[in-house]
Structures are given as C-alpha cells and as structure tokens.
Structure 1
Amino acid sequence: MAGWEDVREFTLGNISRPATRTHNQIEFGPNAIRAVQGSNDDRELEPYAYVGPDRSLYLDADLTQLLCQVVATGEHSWAVHDDAGAVIGTITRLPSHRPLLRPNWRIDQPGHPAITGRTEWLTGSPGRLAAKAVTRVIAGVLDGLTGVGDEGGDQLTKSRTLEWRTSDELVMISNSSIRIMADWLDRRLAFAYALVAE
C-alpha cells in the first residue's frame, strides 16, 4: 500500500472504526499502524502497515511486502532496518536516574539531529512550563467541580505525552496517538517507536 511516507497522525492497534456519536459500534481489523481518516463523526483508522512477527511491519495484510523490521541491539536500544536490511535509524530508551520519572527516548536518523522524546513537563522555557502548570491546575479544579472521577476518588488519567524535539524543532508528539510535525522524519522510525513502546 502506498502513502505511508506521508502519514501525519497514526495509532497502533486493531480498531478500524471507533465508536462515534453517529456510529456506536466498534469495528476491528488486523493489528496495524493506522492513520486517522475522516471527521469525528465518521472516523476510520485506515491501515498503512501491518504488524508481523518479531517487531516487523508489512505493507499488506498477507505479510508478504516487508516495510521495516526492528531489531534489538542492546537492553535499551533497537535498530530499524528497511526491506533490504539496511539500517535507517535507531531508537534508544533512556532510563531515568530519578525513581519517580519515567524514561525518555531518542531517535537517531542519519543526516539529521538526534530527536529526544521527553515528557511535556520537562520541555520548554520556564515561562512555558509555568503556563502548563496553571493549565493543569485549572483543569483539575474544573474536573472536581464537574464530578469527573468521582468513583473511588480517582481522576481519569490520560496517556503520557512526549514531545519529540531536536535542539530547535518540535518533530513529533506522542500520547494515545502519534502526530508527526516535521516532514523530514522517516515515518518508519515513528512506526518502529510505536512497536517498541507498546
């Protein structure tokens, strides 16, 4: 299937059509990298790369046209190979030295600066971090007033958001889906991150 090179937002999973206001039934398909298509009320998750064995991705559901494969090169590192076996980049999990912080990530794509994925709370200027803190406090107060999370006293949680940056550019944002901001990023590296991080 052509077009994977231009994917801007995707998720990894087997839901081909989520429930919406106008379509209340979830539809399933094979486990795949799926790009978001359509409006909120008519949303589909179109497959662009199908998950095969041993952290591999294929262009077809029959798993005959290899797109890329992720190969472990260490305890916290992986090389991403293209269909001919050439390395197109690497992914590294950077363990935190602080017990309460989750690990960061790094993607290295030849010919481009290293991309580091860090939690949104650890990126940006002090002013930007202060603005994020104020936004979180306001959201928490509103959730308390509206009763969100009343069962058992736990608030609803969202997946961790990572901002993927070079020293001067926002390249990608990942949480429950992955949104690519930089055209130069090889999509196969973003797909591979989704495989190793799941």
Structure 2
Amino acid sequence: MAFDKDKAGQEPPVAAVDWVEVREFTVGSVERPITPKRKRAVRRARAVRVPKGGGGSRVYAPCAYCAPASVPVPPGISGPRLYEDENGQRLLCYIDAGGAESVESAEGTGGAEGAEGDRRHHVRDGNGEIIGTIRRIAPSKRMFKHTWRIDQPGHPEIVGRNQWASGDARDIAGRGAGKFISGLMDSLASLDADSGDQAERKARTLEWRADGELVMTSQGKTCTITADWLDRRLAFAFVLLGDR
C-alpha cells in the first residue's frame, strides 16, 4: 500500500495539449484516475482536461487552466477565466458576468426585456475581443426546462436542448406542436434528473445543433465536440457556466 502511494506521488505531470482541436474534455483536477495499481487519484491544478489512453494508462491532459487563486483578477473582468499556462500568466479567454437577455435576442420578436431567467454571456479572448455569445433562454412554461444558444460569428446559431427533445418528434410535428413536445420532453428529463437522493442526481445531456448539424454534446462537466468549426473556447465557457 505504501509502495503504491509513493509510486503515485512520483508520477510526472501529464504534458499539456493544444486546446484548438480538442474533441472531448472535462473540467476538474484529476490528472491520473484510480486504477487497480493506483489506489488514489493524482490531482493537480483545476483545468480543462482531455482524456487520453485507456485502462490503466488513462490520463487527463490539461489544455487550459482555471484561474489560480493566487493570480489577481484583471481589471474589468468579473466572470470565470481560463489561462494557457498553469501559473496564470497568459489569459486564454474569459466570460462576462452576464446580463438580462432581450426578447428580441431570445425570441426574435422585438421588445425590451426577456423573461425572468434569460441571461447573456459574452465570451472574450485574452485581448478582450468577443469570440461568441452564450445565451440562456428561460422556458415559456414553468414545467419546462430552459434551453441554450451559442452565437459564433460567421456560423449558424447553435441551439442546446435536452437530448430527449432532439429527436424526430419535433421534425414530424407542426411548428407549434413541435415546440410543445420539445418543452415536454425537457420537462420529463428534468423530473427524471431531479428524482432520488441529491448524490444520485444526474446532469441532463444536451445536444447542440446548428441547422440540423450536431455540433457538440454536453453533460455536466464533460463535453464531446463533433463540428470542426466550433471555437473550443465557447464549449469551455459553457461548461464553466454550468447548465443551471
């Protein structure tokens, strides 16, 4: 047992990987998980991490680091931020704290302010330039679950819905009926996720589509990207915000 602990403590840090073409990631501090030969997980800095290898060789390589507590918050930044290096010297991107979404932005119908719970977060690069916007859209009915939108300049709007609400039912139903079915499926999934003990609750799976194309799938702190054109920093930002 002591030998295993010593061996785990001596394992070298996993080298960072380029974030630009990441396909699958999670956010956390576990770098080397528990295995039959490793009795305790090896933890390092909290980061966006990419799974590599399998079985006893599985590791989670960092590709972007969450803001270290020791690094002062840059002026004018109030939301979560990510760095290219563990020491927090090279800012990769950050998220605006978020403001109320307008009805025009959320629904395309014009107006001043959206429903309670609508939020808009700009995602900015290290120079402060907007690279995209994440929008949380409150449900039209209390029983339904909120949805998400990602706007990336030069590309179609990306819509994030519960996986159960992304099937053929919406395609074969009329426009109004489709919206109702989509909301109902979101609601049923929400009820399923909220049943049982708190520890057993499971984050809902979201499918993100743009003009019918599957762009990415997310669940809690994990995400799988399928579209080459998606700016990975937008996916990172959504996972940091959380589906809530």
Q: Give the letter aligned to residue 108 of structure 1.
A: D
Aligned residues between the structures: 177
Give the secondary structure class of the aligned counterpart of 1:4: coil
Which residue does the alignment assign to 1:137? none
Query: Which has the bigger relative contact order, CA under 8 A and spacing at least 6?
Result: 1
TM-score, normalisation: structure 2: 0.66
Which residue does the alignment assign to 1:145? none
CA contact (8 A) 1:117 1:163 kept: yes
Q: How does 1:86-97 map to 2 (within 5 A)?
A: 86-97=129-140
Deviations 1:48-85 (A, max 9, x none): 11111541100001000010011134141100111111
Which residue does the alignment assign to 1:182? 227
Cα distance in 1, alignment partners of residues 120 and 150 from structure 2: 10
Cα distance in 2, alignment partners of residues 5 and 67 from structure 1: 11
Q: Give the letter aligned to residue 59 of structure 2.
A: E
- How big is the shift at 1:100? 3.1
Structure with the larger strand share: 1
Q: Give the letter aligned to residue 209 of structure 2.
A: R
RMSD between aligned alpha carbons?
2.6
Matched, 1:171 2:215: yes
Structure 2: which 5+ runs fail to align? 1-15, 68-72, 74-78, 101-118, 172-184, 186-195
Q: 1:21 to 1:175 in 2, by over 3 A?
A: farther
CA contact (8 A) 1:36 1:44 kept: yes
TM-score, normalisation: structure 1: 0.80
State the percentage of identical aligned residues: 41
Which residue does the alignment assign to 2:160? 117
CA contact (8 A) 2:17 2:62 kept: no
